[in-house]
A and B are shown apart, each in its own frame.
Chain A
Amino acid sequence: MSVYLKLIWAYLKIGLFGFGGGYAMLSLVQHIIVENGWLSSQMFTDIVAISQMTPGPIGINSATYIGYVSTGSVLGSALATLAVVVPPYFLTLYASHYITRHSDSTIIKGAFMGLRPVVVGLIASAALLLMNKENFGIAGSTDNFISIALCVASFCTVYFTKTHPIVVIILAGIAGFLLF
């Protein structure tokens, strides 16, 4: 099987079976990399590191990067990215249409009544999961103290002063450069 087909197949699987976004998808990406054997595990670690330092969803980042590195062409990059995006695109679009069309049904109304508090919990869980050593440094260290202070300051800025979140990210980056 050509490397292009392998790549498309791998990212179709990642797109269709990757639930929960971001880091939840990583284990699947890692599994497929190992399964194929045509990408070294070092590359996987690299992708994670690069994804943390570049904007955008990690699923897109890994598809674009592995697509290019494994084929040496922009086409490979584009194909892998499309493969991970297109099938979920149609599923999500269909779900969105279906729900809009049946928005008056008892089932949809009831389901969303239950889903709203769940989504609040899902967002909270994402925040909890990111409160780790990678993002906040080792507990008790100076870095840890600065990170917590930056987190609190960012929260107050975005929540109370209604500053645009993008401005907060830029300010935090400058603060990080100056403080660490």
Chain B
Amino acid sequence: MNNLYLQLWLTFMKIGAFTFGGGWAMISIIEREIVDNHKWIEKDEFLDLLAIAQAMPGILAVNISVVAGDRLKGIKGSLAAAFGTILPSFVIILAIAIFLTPETIKNNEVLTRIFKGIRPAVVALIIAPVITTARAAKINWKTIIIPVAVAVLIYSGLPVVSNPILYIVLGGIGGYIYYTHVTLKHRKEDRA
């Protein structure tokens, strides 16, 4: 398959069709497809894409496909990827809305059992990228405090500090201050 748009569309359709439990659950699959298999994007670059996708409003899964598609093939690429992500869930939900009542799904014993198995696996699929992204971000024993504090505070459910956007803002500003005051100064001193 030489057409990259078609590949992008099919890849993200696959991602959309197997994403259960929201955008974060999708990271394992996206990482495997676009970083490991297709080698479209580098590991550390993938982390930057996640940061952009998370900082923007809207549906995380769609945003991730937009930045990834755009990075690869510009605006048309982003359309192909976003459309691919949306299509499976649109078709499936529409079919359910037209042909079934919510009760048929909710009270289906077979589906209930299958999904009791899938849900803990989805959690595992979110834990795995914690480790791979920590490696890509070059987290060490000094900087590990940042992701730990962010995770615990969001988990706490306390007002204000449990809002993820707060950490996007603080991370951006803090990173800039550190970069200009520490990293760049060190480089100057090294050169002197």
Residues on A facing B (Cβ under 8 Å): 15-25, 43, 46, 49-50, 52-61, 64-65, 68-69, 74, 77-78, 81, 84-85, 87-89, 91-93, 95-97, 99-100, 106-107, 109-131, 134-137, 143, 147-148, 150-155, 158-159, 164-166, 168-169, 171-177, 179-180
Given A56-B88, A124-B151, CB of A110 within 8 Å of CB of B180: yes
Give 14 A-B pairs besides A54-B96, A120-B133, A120-B147 with Cβ atoms closer than 8 angstroms: A15-B59, A19-B164, A20-B54, A22-B23, A46-B102, A54-B20, A60-B62, A68-B93, A74-B94, A114-B171, A115-B168, A124-B151, A148-B120, A166-B29
Contact of A177 among B56, B62, B113, B126 (CB under 8 A): B113
Q: Of residues A16, A46, A113, which shows the largest number of chain B Cβ atoms within 10 Å of its Cβ?
A: A113
- Per the bound structure, the CA–CA distance linking A54 and B96 in Å amounts to 10
- Per the bound structure, the CA–CA distance linking A99 and B80 in Å amounts to 21
Q: Of residues A111, A122, A169, A174, which shows the largest number of chain B Cβ atoms within 10 Å of its Cβ?
A: A122
B51 touches A112 (CB 8 A): yes
Contact of A106 among B89, B134, B172, B176 (CB under 8 A): B176
Query: Main secondary structure on chain A at its contact with chain B?
Result: helix
Closest-by-CB residue of A relative to B96 is A50
- Per the bound structure, the CA–CA distance linking A15 and B61 in Å amounts to 12
Contact of B56 among A92, A110, A143 (CB under 8 A): A92
CB distance from A116 to the nearest CB of B (A): 4
CB distance from B9 to the nearest CB of A (A): 15
Q: Can you list 27 A-B contacts with CB-CB less than 8 angstroms, sorted by A residue number? A: A19-B165, A21-B54, A22-B22, A46-B106, A52-B20, A55-B92, A56-B17, A57-B22, A59-B62, A61-B89, A64-B89, A69-B97, A87-B57, A91-B56, A93-B75, A95-B67, A110-B180, A110-B183, A112-B48, A123-B130, A130-B126, A135-B120, A136-B119, A150-B124, A152-B124, A169-B18, A169-B20
B97 touches A65 (CB 8 A): yes
A125 touches B164 (CB 8 A): yes
CB distance from B136 to the nearest CB of A (A): 8
Given A20-B165, A130-B21, A164-B32, CB of A118 within 8 Å of CB of B51: yes
Contact of A116 among B47, B94, B106, B115 (CB under 8 A): B47
